[in-house]
Structure 1
Amino acid sequence: MKAIRLEEPKNFQRVEINEPTSPRPGQALVRTHRMGICGTDYGGYLGKMPFFSYPRIPGHELGVEVLEVGDNVTNVKVGDRCSVEPYMNCGECYPCRKGNGNCCEKLNVIGVMVDGGLCDKFLIRADKLHSSSKLTYEQLALVETLGIGCHACDRGAPQKGDHVLIIGAGPIGLATLEFTRLTGATITVMDMVESRLEFCRETYGVPHTVQFKGDGSELEQMLDITNGDRYAVVTDATGHNASMSNALKYVAHTGSLVYVGITTAEVSFPHPILHKPEMSIKGSRNALPSDFSRIISLIEDGTINTEPWVTHRTSFDTVIEEFETFTHPESGVIKAIIEVA
């Protein structure tokens, strides 16, 4: 059976792997139709993702078809189109008992810590499948990325009228933007790449954008935008340690800073910049099952339009040759989709 495996950073290989067995109780056998490429995949490819292990079949943003189900499976049936919730939690540790399986102490994310969906077929826990009779496989492959942004927005909990800053206009920043706009907050997006800021203005009508130049001018613009208050919520979606360290400068007194991007480098800041404004710093990891259900409904009813998201497509047969280009900002990639089947 065909699969693509990342043997080590920057070394993809097309491989043949064993066909999966029939599903056990509680499992489903699924066929991968579409896979989204996200920052985690790029980080794994570049050797910069701390949770990634090698060799690994990537693929956690997936639109799949149910081929067979095991005993005791009632939430999906053969033929269903599904999005995959890729977070394999234990169900027993402290966060799992609290309903926060997204940050399970023993968490395995498929395509990151264990093999994922860049293959023809694979077995998965059926409770991790979220079906839709209306969405395409491509739309279903985008649900997980949107889930990251949904959860990040909820962690910051902006209110109507708040000034909110999103740093980084890549897929995770845009996913956070999707849900922040539903709160009625006033949004500013900052990025180094002007074309991404233009995308935010034209596609989402974002009222304020700031191009980061590293000369301190961004703070002057932000103070002007917020009438000197700075931001009630700042979400850093860059995964860059310098950006994450600088982000504290932009938070209003009593405001919150959410880190949704991940870095292997040290994030540092002088303590008074946190203490003086009584700032809250929060991590945001993965998403919750309820986020998947909510997002599917929002796409189905047209509240979220996924059409502008997909800027590049590639096939299973060409992705190895094209993947490197997607890692370069000048390629203009917002979201690339692999057509697997």
Structure 2
Amino acid sequence: MLTVVCEKPGTLRSETRSIPERGTGEVLLRVRRVGVCGTDMHIFTGNQPYLEYPRVMGHELSATVESADADSGLSAGDVVYVMPYLSCGKCIACRNGKTNCCVNIKVLGVHRDGAMTEYLSVPAQFVRKADGVTLDQAAMVEFLAIGAHAVRRADVSAGQRVLVVGAGPIGMAAMIFAGLRGATVTALDSRADRLSFCSGKIGVTASVTVGNEDVQALSELTGGEFFDVVFDATGNPDAMRRGFEFIAHGGKYVLISVVKDVISFSDPEFHKREATLLGSRNATLEDFDTVLDAMRAGKIPDAALNTHRLQLSSLPADFSKLLDPAAGVVKAIVEC
């Protein structure tokens, strides 16, 4: 089978590997689509701190079942998506239903080889049917679920004012699901093209460009009160620290981004707001189901989000092109 390996930062190579043997309790999958994530780009550029090379990237995938145990509920030919956060099921987080922050988590494409290959064998409990959606849609469920999880963590409600800082795919996912809950959503980013996309394709209420006048603009949008919920999806420590300024009194701040750094804030400012600070990591099956329901109802602009397509065979030559901001990539999908 064809497999694309990130040998070291900046280097992808194609190689031929044997089709994996399916173990008991596993499902052998024929990979069909793989979404390219910011994590994959960080691996390629050498900015992913929790990874060892070489690595087969890819954790956003759809597939068809090749073979599975008779009692798995899966049959050959089923269209499926994969929950890429392989949790242990035994630790304190898993026992409390928070498999997304499992103590022993292994993420496909990060901690173990992922989906940029033709066949993959994974434990059956992480393989779910994707009835009623296309292969393309099923490959987009995971990143959308991260946004859905963050919105659920914040318990966003109708009429609230929401600010999403960072208009990448994860930030867009948070915008979509905050909007579906009836919130008034504002996007803040440094890239005018991304903000234009959010306004035209996602339907955010307002967008503000990062700059000297952004605080004033955000204040004017909210009558000086700022935002009930602020989400950070930048992956930038300075932006994450700055986001505390935009929380309304009694508001919440949700950090979707994770950085290998210290995030600090003014305690008096935090306390006088009685603000709530939340971390949001990955997603759970509940969030995946939320995304699938919204997709089936036609509420996700997935066709617009999928701006680029590549072939697995051309990935070593073409992957670096996705890094160019001028290319306008939102979500690229690899066809296997």
TM-score in terms of structure 1 length: 0.95
Aligned residue identity for 2:330 = I
Query: Could you say which residue in structure 2 is the equivalent of 1:262?
Result: 258
Deviates more, 1:315-324 or 1:281-290: 315-324
Query: Could you say which residue in structure 2 is the equivalent of 1:244?
Result: 240
Cα deviation per residue 1:29-69 (whole Å; 9 max; x = unaligned)? 00111100011111111222233332211110001010000
How many Å separate the matches in 2 of 1:179 and 1:172?
A: 11
Cα deviation per residue 1:167-226 (whole Å; 9 max; x = unaligned)? 11110011111110011111100111111111111112222110002x2x1111111111
Aligned residue identity for 2:78 = D
Query: Could you say which residue in structure 2 is the equivalent of 1:175?
Result: 173
How many Å separate the matches in 2 of 1:41 and 1:258?
A: 23
1:83 corresponds, among 56, 69, 81, to: 81
Which aligned pairs between 1:1-40 and structure 2 lie closer than 5 A? 1-21=1-21, 23-40=22-39
Aligned residue identity for 2:190 = M
Which aligned pairs between 1:79-158 and structure 2 lie closer than 5 A? 79-158=77-156
Deviation of the 1:15 alpha carbon: 1.9
Deviation of the 1:101 alpha carbon: 0.5
Report percent identity of matched pairs: 35
Kindly indicate whether the alpha-carbon contact (under 8 Å) linking 2:186 and 2:207 is maintained by their aligned counterparts in 1: yes
Which aligned pairs between 1:66-81 and structure 2 lie closer than 5 A? 66-74=65-73, 76-81=74-79
Kindly indicate whether the alpha-carbon contact (under 8 Å) linking 1:26 and 1:71 is maintained by their aligned counterparts in 2: no
1:281 corresponds, among 253, 277, 284, to: 277
Root-mean-square deviation over aligned CA pairs: 1.3
Kindly indicate whether the alpha-carbon contact (under 8 Å) linking 1:150 and 1:291 is maintained by their aligned counterparts in 2: yes
Kindly indicate whether the alpha-carbon contact (under 8 Å) linking 1:164 and 1:188 is maintained by their aligned counterparts in 2: yes
In the alignment, structure 2 segments of 5+ residues that lack a partner are none
TM-score in terms of structure 2 length: 0.96
Kindly indicate whether the alpha-carbon contact (under 8 Å) linking 1:24 and 1:70 is maintained by their aligned counterparts in 2: no
Cα deviation per residue 1:255-314 (whole Å; 9 max; x = unaligned)? 111111122233233332322312111111111012222222221221223111111111
The alignment of Structure 1 onto Structure 2 pairs a total of residues equal to: 336
Q: Is 1:55 the counterpart of 2:54 in the alignment?
A: yes
Aligned residue identity for 2:183 = A
Aligned residue identity for 1:182 = L
How many Å separate the matches in 2 of 1:13 and 1:274?
A: 48
Counterpart secondary structure, 1:48:
coil
Counterpart secondary structure, 2:188:
strand
Query: Could you say which residue in structure 2 is the equivalent of 1:232?
Result: 228
In the alignment, structure 1 segments of 5+ residues that lack a partner are none
